[in-house]
Amino acid sequence: MSSRIYLIRHGETEWSLNQQHTGSTEVLLTSNGEKQAQRTAETFVGDGKLIQPKRIKRIFCSPRKRARQTLRLLGLGDEDELSVSGLTSSETPSVKITELLREWDYGNYEGLTIEEVRKLRRSRNLDEVRPWNIWRDGCEGGE
């Protein structure tokens, strides 16, 4: 059987709900974000489903609490013990918490909405030629 990689994003937070740029700030899941993770687990995780815990070889997770909360709610790991739930120690793949999966560094734009960023940049005369685009222009003090 070939290897498979699954990417799962964390559930909703207050900041994502309000369209605020969220990088390194620790913002926990909303109750809706918790439900999103639980529904994802019910749909995709378990014996006979797409993601079968006994077949998992390795889990990588962002260090942000919202990502670790999501991992726990998926039933795939414990936020604190970093082990996969429901498996014996001989079956348990390691959970690697890594900064390589951290969110984008929004620098001075952390916590701001797109409109707030654009307003700030206009006040500094940064976008006289063309409007700000995060992918092209990056973030002051960040990436």
22 is in an annotated binding site: yes
pLDDT digits (tens, 9 = 90+) for 15-58: 999 999 999 999 999 999 999 999 999 999 999 999 998 888 89
pLDDT digits (tens, 9 = 90+) for 118-138: 999 999 999 988 989 999 999
**CB of 139 within 8 A of CB of 105?**
yes
Residues with catalytic annotation?
10, 103
What is the percent of the chain with per-residue pLDDT over 90, rounded to a whole number?
71
Which phi and psi (to 5°) does residue 4 adopt? -130, 145
26 is in an annotated binding site: no
**pLDDT value at position 34?**
98
Cα–Cα distance for residue pair 76/86, rounded to 1 Å: 8
**pLDDT value at position 113?**
96
